[in-house]
Every structure is written in structure tokens, then in C-alpha cells.
Amino acid sequence: MAIPLQAFGRTGHLSTRVIFGAASLSRVSQEEADRALEVLLEHGINHIDVAASYGDAELRIAPWLKQRRQDFFVATKTGERTAEGAREELQRSLDRLGTDHVDLWQLHNLSDAIQWDKALSPGGAIEAAVEAREQGLVGAIGVTGHGIQMAAMHQRNLQRFDFDSVLLPFNFLTMSNPYYSHNFDALQATCMERGIACQTIKSLAYRPWMGRPKTTSTWYEPLQDPKDIELAVHWALARPGIFVISTGDVHLLPYVLDAAERYAGPPADGELAAMVERLQMEPLFV
């Protein structure tokens, strides 16, 4: 069964509900990256999410776009907060990707109040984003962030600027926090009302590494057993209207996409809570 398509907000693009998280390409060879492309094509994924700060990821994607630019909705991000810095970073991203435009450009991890005000004020990164959209260098403008405050912060972001997309954490453990779930529900309602795409990350979050030896390239420990991955992915996909971005380790990509293709409905009541207890899962954000 194919991974379903869904309107990516008001952009006019129908994106696969699972988006490829290209942070997984930050430290891999071109050969490994090209194998990931084969997996994406096999599963019909048509949307790539990358960032200027993701190591070599933009460079790894460039050969794909040279051959298949029309096959992918391409999103990248800037961590710069001034208009000048953002303009320079966008040009660098376009050069590294080997394309003359991206479909979505996102202000990356806009969660600190001081940086938030800088980026969204005159002379800030948002000025460069609007200018780039007018010039045809970017199609849509989005905003991303991590942390337990992010759902509430995005509501504030959307009051300040009419972003086309938001991106934030979404998994069973994070949504078990009443503060977060209340604000996530409110944010998604705003997104649906205004035609804003709602992208989610950290669906496979297991726990912080906390000094344990790292066995994946992610900054947090992800679920790695295919059965657990399937539970987590199916739980996330059961939420209508959202997009799920695949995890930051390229070796887990096939398990995520296989699970998404098998999705036929939400897990049974209690299955996620039982997994949390069985694995002693811990929240990433407190």
C-alpha cells in the first residue's frame, strides 16, 4: 500500500505524509546517500527536508536534484537571524544543492525569545525570506523548533508572521505532557484554519543518550527494533493532517517507510503506553 499524499498547506503541492529527513545524510558518503535515494524512490517519497547546518547533507542531495529536481519538493533551513546573514546562507544552500530555487525555506529552531525578536523584526531573517520569495528563490516560508515550549511558541510565531508551515516534535511521550498536548492541539487547529502545513519530528525518540555509547547518528537515542518503530510510526500517522519527518539516521529509513506503507489504522489502546513501560522510555524535552 502506497504512502498517502496530502496537501502541503496552501503551497499547492501534494506531499507524501512521510517526509525524508535529510539530517540523516549529514555524515554519510555519497554512495550511502545514493542508496537512500533508491529507498525513497521505491517508496514514492516526494518531499525532502534538509538544512544548511546539516553537515554535508545539501551536497549529498545535489546529484539527486541534478537528475530528478521535478520529482521532489525541496525544503531547507537557515539558522541565521539577520537579513544579511540569511541571504548569504540561502545562496550557499542553493549553490550546494545545485538548484536555482527551493520550494520551502524555513527559519530554523526559532525558539529563543531574543533570537525570535531579532529574526522577525526589520533587518531580520524574515526580511530576507520575503525578499527571496518575491525573487522566486523560495516558494514558501516556514518556521521550525524543538522543545516542550515549541507548540506554544509557534502560536506566537504565527501571530507575528503568516508562515506557510511549522515544524515541531510529536510523539507519544511528548504528547503525554498536558501542557504540550494542549498547545499542540491549539496549534494544529490554527494550522488547519489558515492552511498552514504542520510537520512533525522525533516520532522515534526513545530517550536521551545520557552518556550511553551512541549506536546511531542521532543526537538522541531512537527506537531501533522494527516492531517498535512500526508502533511509533503508526501512532504518529493516526493523527490526521500532520506530516511525519523520518528520523536522523539513514539506516533506520527503510524501517520507517516500510511501517508507513503498512499503516492501516492506529495502534490498539494501551500499546504505546506498554512500550514506554517495557523500554523505560524517557522524554527528550522537559
Domains of the chain: 5-279 (3.20.20.100)
pLDDT at 286 over 90: no
Query: pLDDT of 94-108, one tens digit each?
Result: 999 999 999 999 999
Query: pLDDT of 219-237, one tens digit each?
Result: 999 999 999 999 999 999 9
* Averaged pLDDT, 252-278: 97
Query: Could you give the CA distance from residue 165 to residue 158 in angstroms, rounded to a whole number?
Result: 10
pLDDT at 199 over 90: yes
pLDDT at 211: 86
Is 0.95 topped by the overall pTM?
yes
Query: pLDDT of 31-44, one tens digit each?
Result: 999 999 999 999 99
Single out the residue of 130, 193, 131, 140 nearest to residue 167, CA to CA: 140
Using pLDDT thresholds of 50, 70 and 90, give the confidence band for residue 1.
confident
Ranges of H-type helices in 238-279: 253-261, 271-279
Please name the helix (run of DSSP H) or strand (run of DSSP E) that holds residue 60, with its range, or none.
Answer: helix 57-68
Identify the DSSP state of 48: E
Rounded percentage of the chain residues whose pLDDT exceeds 90: 95
- Grid cell, residue 238, equals 493516526
C-alpha 221: how far from chain center: 17
Whole-number mean pLDDT of the chain?
Answer: 97
What are the CB-based long-range contacts (under 8 Å, 24+) for 262-271?
262/1, 262/230, 262/234, 263/1, 263/233, 263/234, 263/237, 264/1, 265/234, 265/238, 266/234, 266/235, 266/238, 267/231, 267/234, 267/235, 267/238, 271/231
Identify the DSSP state of 11: S
Q: Is 4 helix (H, G, I), strand (E, B) or coil?
A: coil
Query: pLDDT of 114-133, one tens digit each?
Result: 999 999 999 999 999 999 99
**b/e per residue, 106-123, with b = 16+ CB within 10 A?**
bbbbbbeeebbebbbeee
CA distances from 97 to 30, 40, 87, 153 (A): 14, 18, 15, 30
Query: pLDDT of 63-105, one tens digit each?
Result: 999 999 999 999 999 999 999 999 999 999 999 999 999 999 9
pLDDT at 5 over 90: yes
Query: Could you give the CA distance from residue 175 to residue 144 in angstroms, rounded to a whole number?
Result: 18
Query: pLDDT of 149-177, one tens digit each?
Result: 999 999 999 999 999 999 999 999 999 99
